[in-house]
Amino acid sequence: MKLNGWQRIGIIVLVLWAIGAASQSRAEETSHLAFVTEYIRELSANENTRADAERELNASNSSRGKLSSSIHAHTLIQLELQSQIYKLKSMHLDPPFDHLIPTIITLYERKMDLFQTIIDISSTMLAGPRPGVDYGKLAAEVPKIRALLDHNDHTLFLSTPLIFATLIDQKPDSKNHLSHLIITKKEREKLIDDLTAAFGKKLEQKNQKYAVSSASVLKAYLSKGYKCSDEPWE
């Protein structure tokens, strides 16, 4: 049978799609240790940029200074989140954790959008009075945005147990319990040391920010309850 031009194009498209699908299915899974190590780094970076932004805003005495600081500080947070999204998009986890990284990326992107709204509001107010702009309405939007940011960070915090679960060996012990991690004692200690070095005394504070709370939860899970891959099995 002789194929016409459109039929040939259709076959080529199907072949290319099949090649792409096969390539995607063969994508090598990211080391779970590498993923958790990166997430701890991101928790630290996000807490540092948040704290820096808070200090910068508190140091500004005038309304214009606070608006200018808001634009600067929140832009820095956006840039950090952007670099984290880029890194996470290079990672891939197999089922049952395949939705974890895309979910984190979506939450980071949502944070960037919310911070952009704050930047836009601050820029409009810094520019001075203009006809047709309801400045009262703009100012009223900021507390709403902060509430949405809190909700977003709370959702990220709730994912912390699942992030730790990527380190749990799915092979049960003789009592049919999942009692081991897939990492060695040395690797576990390195993760604990990373958390301690990054957050220090903040891990002992009450009323912790969400990034610090996530770090506290990860450290608690790593510190007790599970044996490592190089420890005896029962």
Neighbouring residues of 57: CB distance < 8 A, sequence distance ≥ 6: 66, 69, 70, 73
Q: For residue 231, count other CB atoms closer than 10 A to its CB.
A: 13
Mean pLDDT over all residues of the chain?
89
Angstrom distance (rounded) from CA 163 to CA 86: 19
Q: How far apart, in whole angstroms, are the C-alpha atoms of residue 144 and residue 166? A: 34
**Can you tell me whether residue 2 is helix, strand or coil?**
coil
Residue 26 has pLDDT above 80, yes or no: no
CA–CA distance, 54 with 164 (Å, rounded to integer): 29
User: Which pLDDT score is estimated for 133?
Assistant: 80
Cis peptide bond upstream of 161, omega within 30: no
Q: Which tens digit of pLDDT belongs to each residue from 56-81?
A: 989 988 889 999 999 999 999 999 99
Q: What is the mean pLDDT of residues 11-35?
A: 65
Lowest-confidence region among 133-137, 148-152, 180-184, 212-216: 133-137
Q: Side chain identity at 206, as an amino acid letter?
A: K
pLDDT of residue 175: 87
Q: What is the mean pLDDT of residues 200-207?
A: 92
Look at the block and give the residue holding tokens 């984290």: 84
pLDDT reported for residue 28 = 92
**From CA 208, how far away is CA 203, in angstroms rounded?**
8
pTM, two decimals, is 0.84
Q: Are the C-beta atoms of 214 and 199 separated by less than 8 Å?
A: no
Tokens 């500004």 — which residue? Answer: 60
* Percent of the chain at pLDDT exceeding 90: 73
Q: Give the C-alpha separation, 13 to 163, whole Å.
A: 38
Measured CA to CA, the distance from residue 70 to residue 56 in angstroms comes to: 8
